[in-house]
Amino acid sequence: MSQDLFLRSTHALLINDDGKILFERKKDDIRPIASVTKLMSAMVILDGKQALDELVEITKADRDLLQLTGSRLKFGARLKRAELLKIMLMSSENRAALALGRNYNGGLPAMVKAMNRKARALGMRHSHFSDPAGLSPENTSTASDLAIMVKAARHYSLITEASHTRSTEVFPWKKKGALTYRNTNRLLKRKDWHISVSKTGFITEAGRCLVMQANINQQALTIVLLNSYGKLSPFGDSNRIRKWLAK
């Protein structure tokens, strides 16, 4: 492990497709992962083979009662399951995640069980999920486990499409205009970043988090950055990694 890479993230992992670790910091420490959880939620929902064109309605049951975050998806809004998945991944829309969990086969408890079962099947031995949005600090993992999750997520076309889509419009109401959702990964604005899978996350207990798979210097690399200080720090760390690799 090289020591000449300065990162603001307290936990980090940089690994190539052959499994070679290029940099690591506290890669096996367990900590909250916030909305990075939504990658696992998306995989489990897609594994469930529910109709992606089925309309799902937002209700009061989809309120965030843990972190008290807001949402532009008001009660009564209706979107296709595929649309909710996309804005959940792109913009970390919490009500989308909770509505998808509530409408999962068997309901929210069944989905959480499926998330933990999927984690075990992938070999994520130090991960635990308690809700599909990542609002609870009880959604925990390690940088090593999250690298496994990111590599698994790239095999889902809807996840990869959402990961590199900068913005999208949805129409939750028949007689109203569109809602525009933008990707929370600011690196997509730069032409020198080629990203196939990514997810950001934040709650106070987790700090700023970013996981992604990107092609840098013609090699596929998985980057995990956890508990970074400052809203822009994970993106700064990502650019520092690029410059470090260029050396």
Cβ distance 199 to 35 under 8 Å? Answer: yes
pTM of the predicted structure, to 2 decimals = 0.96
- 142's tokens: 């390690």
Instruction: Please classify residue 133 by burial: count the beta carbons closer than 10 Å to its beta carbon, then call 0-12 exposed, 13-18 middle and 19+ buried.
Output: buried
Grouping H, G, I as helix, E, B as strand and the rest as coil, residue 245 is helix
Residues whose CB is less than 8 angstroms from the CB of residue 7 and which lie 6 or more positions away in sequence, other chains included: 25, 225, 228, 237, 240, 241
- Delineate the domains of the chain, giving CATH numbers in brackets: 9-246 (3.40.710.10)
**What are the two backbone dihedrals, phi and then psi, of residue 75, each rounded to the nearest 5 degrees?**
-60, 135
Grouping H, G, I as helix, E, B as strand and the rest as coil, residue 12 is strand
Dist. CA 187–CA 213, nearest whole Å: 12
Q: Give me the residues of the chain with pLDDT under 50, please.
A: 1-2
The pLDDT tens digits of the residues spanning 187-220 come to 999 999 999 999 999 999 999 999 999 999 889 9
pLDDT at site 4? 76
pLDDT at site 175? 85
Angle (deg, nearest 10), helices 81-91 and 94-102 = 140
Dist. CA 35–CA 111, nearest whole Å: 16
Angle value at C-alpha 8, between 229 and 39, nearest 5 degrees: 70
pLDDT at site 247? 82
Grouping H, G, I as helix, E, B as strand and the rest as coil, residue 209 is strand
The pLDDT tens digits of the residues spanning 165-182 come to 999 999 999 888 999 999
Grouping H, G, I as helix, E, B as strand and the rest as coil, residue 41 is helix
| Residues known to be catalytic | 35, 38, 92
pLDDT at site 141? 98
pLDDT at site 3? 54
Angle (deg, nearest 10), helices 107-122 and 37-47 = 100
pLDDT at site 1? 43
Q: Map tokens 């506290």 to a residue.
A: 26
Dist. CA 86–CA 3, nearest whole Å: 38
